Amino acid sequence: MGSKERSAMNDHNKELAGLERLESQERLSAMAPERLLDLAGVGNEDVVLDIGAGGGYFTFPAAERTKGRVYAVEASPVMLEVLRGRALDLGKANVIPAKGSAERLPLEDGSVDVAIASLLLHILPSPEEGLKEMCRILKPEGRGLVVEWLHPREDGKPGHRVPLETMKLYLEACEAEVVHEDIWADTYYSIVFRKSPRR
């Protein structure tokens, strides 16, 4: 095996190890996806978008609640492979894995009832642009769910966090109304917002 193949295998294994951490029992108990989907009002025939879906932490619980399509947008080929395999194993034909990024979502304007961005916006070069793109694909009065880290990094390194008040300012700039906000296990915050009916 050459160095390129070893490097690709290491990257693949790192992504799968990261997925295990993201889907840990500790995270599930601190931030159960079902409770957050309740707050976002996911159900019926809703078309849902999970941005940066990973292995489907929100995708598959959402697919249990709606007969509508659940788009799982992911930039990583490894995670897309995981999503496709899980959708097949669970018999979820309404789950549609799609390659894309938070800054350029592969969906039409106003095509989604509920959009989810969990622990994603803080890693973008411009979280505000990610939110604008999220609002672009929402239908008028569509709902968004944002989950982010509550506290600054413990290692003291700058960045990689979007404070709650800053996120609310970004939403205001998108003409979105904050419907609900919560703190989870003193670790995460969530915001459910509604897109303006005029946009």
Over residues 131-142, the pLDDT tens digits come to 999 999 999 999
Domains observed in the chain: 3-195 (3.40.50.150)
User: Counting beta carbons within 10 angstroms of the beta carbon of residue 116, is it exposed (0 to 12), middle (13 to 18) or buried (19 or more)?
Assistant: buried
Of the two residues 23 and 50, the one the predictor is more confident about is: 50
Range of weakest confidence among 5-14, 27-36, 159-168, 177-186:
5-14
Q: Are 181 and 145 in contact (CB under 8 A)?
A: no
- Residue 44 gets the label, from left (phi > 0), alpha (psi -120 to 50) or beta, of left
* pLDDT tens-digit readout, 141-169: 999 999 998 887 676 665 678 999 999 99
The β-bridge relationship of strands 138-149 and 112-118 is parallel
